[in-house]
């Protein structure tokens, strides 16, 4: 995806992750955005008769969904609308700084005597010396230990916004702050490439301005060449200028100079108009070879890198948040999390939170199919008619102690030949009742850790992925669900590959 799409997707992610209480976007808003984006993605692919890779399709879906989400938020919060636009500061800096540099270069050499070509012109020697130091730094930079800056003006400049607008809900203000930090980090390579392009172009313009100044002034006045120094004699000046102007004399065939020529121009009184044009050509050619051409090449290289990064922004869509949104891309129906409770009666409060668990594991389009609880000691019923099942889970109460002949047989039936065999299968261990019963007792935390480890080890022994959840507070175990989702995705991929072979 390109820079604009990636920026919108990162902003969408920041908003949804910060808005846990659904104050900015309701569940209905998120579900609608997912369904609309899914349809728009399929329509665009059908209209173009294109077959994209799964990753490219997922990127298109995320970009379409971000458009829906950001438009909804902008419609409700006018102050937020400007955040949905790419900042124009780079364009302004990319034009303004080179123009300023060109003018500065044009005026730099006018600091000296406007009727004289100084063989030791301080402005021109400073321009050459500074650029030589820059080239040396560029050669040595790969040998140093790189530390990418995370603070300073460049990260803030990259976001285009130094402060969030006022009068926003707290979750949205928090989201914009997180977005600023995340986008600064992600866009740092692109911002660095753009900054390098602008600085190289400005350096070339500075030298070009100095060259232009030399020739424009030469059209209107008569140059007299000369030099003077307190510490250098003619032989030393001749040696310095011979090295400095060697590329111009060899590559461009400009007339050289001898030691007597330099000695004859040593004092202001001996300045001669005859050689003025030769020294103008030597300085102009040297600036062209040492500064203008190399800096333009470096600017082109940095610009090519910036355009490549802007067209193909390196955003990792393998993160859990993106995996949940794109897990079942392409389906018009809602993806279903099918749950088989074992010796566990799910009350109304826990039943409601199963939908939150499904959204965390599958995405906004998900819904829950809660099967009747299986009686202790029995096996799950046949459910061959169930359709659109994305994931199948066995649901256990952590209050129970796992038993091989009962809980283990239930897991094996679901995993091997039962209703869970055709879809990715895992176990959910609800800790909410156990926390209510044990949490406040002396040594309760230790007992909870021990019981959790017991269930995880038990499921691992039966080769079933287990995820510990809390049906009264789903967000408290969100990290565990994200890790479990990553493992499930890997297992599902391997299973698909195995069936294909």
Q: Residue 115: inside a domain, yes or no? A: yes
**Per-residue pLDDT reduced to its tens digit, 172-186:** 888 888 888 888 888
Q: Residue 243: inside a domain, yes or no? A: yes
In this model, does residue 294 exceed pLDDT 90?
Answer: yes
Residue 59: other Cβ atoms inside 10 A:
23
Q: Which of 89-98, 145-154, 203-212 has the lowest mean pLDDT?
A: 145-154
In this model, does residue 62 exceed pLDDT 60?
Answer: yes
Quick one: pLDDT band at residue 87, thresholds 50, 70, 90? low
Statement to judge: residues 212 and 107 lie in one domain: yes
Statement to judge: residues 153 and 31 lie in one domain: no
Q: Residue 326: inside a domain, yes or no? A: no
Statement to judge: residues 358 and 219 lie in one domain: no
Is 225 in a helix, a strand, or coil?
strand
Q: Which of 235, 275, 234, 226 is nearest to 255 (CA)?
A: 275
Mean pLDDT of 317-339: 73
Quick one: pLDDT band at residue 312, thresholds 50, 70, 90? very high
Which of 278, 300, 321 delimits the end of a domain?
321
Which of 289, 321, 353 delimits the end of a domain?
321
In this model, does residue 495 exceed pLDDT 50?
Answer: no
- Whether 396 and 455 have beta carbons less than 8 Å apart is answered as yes
In this model, does residue 163 exceed pLDDT 70?
Answer: no
Mean pLDDT across the chain, nearest whole number? Answer: 81
Q: How far is CA 166 from CA 69, 79, 176, 192, in A?
A: 20, 7, 11, 30
| Highest mean pLDDT pick, 176-185, 201-210, 407-416 | 201-210
Per DSSP, the chain holds a count of helices (H) and strands (E) of: 18, 7
Statement to judge: residues 14 and 126 lie in one domain: no
Mean pLDDT of 60-66: 91
Total domains present in the chain: 3
* pLDDT score recorded for residue 162: 45
* pLDDT score recorded for residue 247: 87
Quick one: pLDDT band at residue 201, thresholds 50, 70, 90? very high
* pLDDT score recorded for residue 122: 83
If residue 14 lies in a helix (H) or strand (E), which one and from where to where?
helix 3-18
Q: Residue 328: inside a domain, yes or no? A: no
Statement to judge: residues 224 and 105 lie in one domain: yes
Statement to judge: residues 401 and 421 lie in one domain: yes
Mean pLDDT of 70-76: 90
**Per-residue pLDDT reduced to its tens digit, 349-393:** 888 888 888 877 776 667 888 888 999 888 887 666 677 777 888
* pLDDT score recorded for residue 298: 96
| Highest mean pLDDT pick, 11-25, 286-300, 309-323, 359-373 | 286-300
Q: Residue 117: inside a domain, yes or no? A: yes
Statement to judge: residues 115 and 51 lie in one domain: no
* pLDDT score recorded for residue 493: 42
Q: What CATH number corresponds to the domain at position 484?
A: 3.40.50
Mean pLDDT of 9-27: 88
**Per-residue pLDDT reduced to its tens digit, 105-118:** 888 765 455 566 77
Q: Residue 292: inside a domain, yes or no? A: yes
Percentage of the chain exceeding pLDDT 90 = 23
Is 94 in a helix, a strand, or coil?
helix
Residue whose pair of structure tokens reads 């019923």 in the numeric block: 381
Return the HEC string of 418-486.
Answer: CCCCCCCEEEEEECHHHHHHHCCCCCHHHHHHHHHHHHHHHHHHCCCEEEEECCCCHHHHHHHHHHHHH
Statement to judge: residues 118 and 201 lie in one domain: yes
Q: Residue 438: inside a domain, yes or no? A: yes
Which domain range does residue 495 map to? 333-500
Statement to judge: residues 100 and 43 lie in one domain: no
Burial of 253 (C-beta count, 10 Å sphere; 0-12/13-18/19+): exposed
* pLDDT score recorded for residue 384: 62
* pLDDT score recorded for residue 497: 38
Statement to judge: residues 257 and 340 lie in one domain: no
Statement to judge: residues 99 and 224 lie in one domain: yes
The pTM score is: 0.69
Contacts of 322 (CB under 8 A, 6+ apart): 13, 58, 62, 316
Q: Which of 366, 425, 361, 485 is nearest to 38 (CA)?
A: 366
Strands 389-397 and 367-370: unpaired
Q: Residue 237: inside a domain, yes or no? A: yes
Give the DSSP letter of residue 164. P
Statement to judge: residues 490 and 458 lie in one domain: yes
């Amino acid at each position: 995806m390109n820079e604009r799409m990636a920026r919108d997707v990162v902003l969408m992610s920041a908003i949804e992750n910060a808005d846990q209480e659904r104050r900015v976007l309701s569940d209905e808003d998120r579900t609608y955005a997912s369904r609309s984006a899914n349809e728009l993605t399929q329509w665009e692919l059908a209209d173009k008769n294109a077959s994209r890779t799964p990753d490219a399709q997922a990127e298109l879906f995320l970009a379409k969904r971000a458009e829906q989400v950001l438009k909804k938020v902008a419609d409700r919060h006018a102050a937020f609308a400007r955040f949905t636009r790419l900042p124009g500061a780079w364009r302004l800096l990319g034009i303004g700084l080179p123009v300023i540099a060109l003018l500065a270069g044009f005026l730099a050499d006018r600091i000296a005597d406007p009727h004289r070509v100084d063989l030791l012109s301080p402005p021109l020697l400073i321009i050459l010396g500074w650029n030589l130091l820059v080239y040396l730094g560029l050669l040595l930079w790969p040998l140093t230990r790189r530390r990418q800056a995370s603070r300073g003006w460049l990260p803030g400049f990259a976001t285009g916004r130094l402060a969030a607008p006022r009068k926003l809900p707290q979750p949205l203000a928090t989201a914009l702050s997180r977005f600023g930090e995340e986008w600064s980090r992600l866009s740092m390579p692109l911002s660095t490439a753009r900054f390098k392009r602008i600085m190289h172009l400005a350096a070339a313009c500075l030298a070009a301005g100095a060259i232009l100044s030399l020739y424009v002034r030469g059209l209107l006045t008569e140059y007299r060449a000369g030099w003077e120094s307190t510490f250098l004699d003619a032989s030393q000046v001749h040696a310095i200028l011979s090295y400095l102007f060697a590329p111009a004399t060899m590559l461009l065939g400009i007339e050289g100079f001898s030691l007597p020529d330099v000695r004859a121009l040593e004092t202001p009184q001996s300045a001669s108009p005859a050689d003025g044009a030769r020294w103008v050509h030597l300085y102009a050619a040297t600036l062209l070879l040492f500064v203008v051409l190399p800096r333009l090449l470096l600017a082109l290289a940095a610009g090519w890198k910036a355009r490549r990064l802007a067209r193909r922004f390196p955003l990792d869509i393998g993160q859990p948040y993106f995996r949940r949104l794109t897990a079942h891309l392409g389906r018009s129906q809602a993806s279903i999390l099918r749950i088989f409770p074992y010796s566990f009666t799910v009350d109304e409060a826990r039943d409601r939170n199963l939908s939150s668990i499904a959204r965390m594991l599958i995405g906004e389009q998900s819904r829950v199919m809660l099967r009747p609880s299986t009686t202790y000691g029995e096996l799950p019923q046949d459910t061959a008619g169930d359709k659109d099942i994305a994931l199948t889970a066995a649901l256990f109460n952590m209050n129970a102690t796992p038993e091989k002949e009962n809980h283990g047989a239930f897991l094996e039936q679901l995993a091997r030949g039962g209703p869970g065999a055709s879809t990715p299968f895992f176990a959910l261990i609800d800790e909410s009742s156990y926390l209510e019963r044990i949490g406040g007792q002396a040594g309760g935390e230790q007992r909870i850790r021990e019981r959790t480890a017991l269930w995880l080890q038990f499921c691992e022994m039966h080769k079933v992925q287990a995820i510990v959840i809390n049906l009264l507070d789903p967000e408290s175990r969100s990290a565990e669900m994200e890790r479990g989702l990553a493992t499930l995705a890997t297992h599902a991929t391997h299973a698909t590959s195995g069936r294909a072979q």
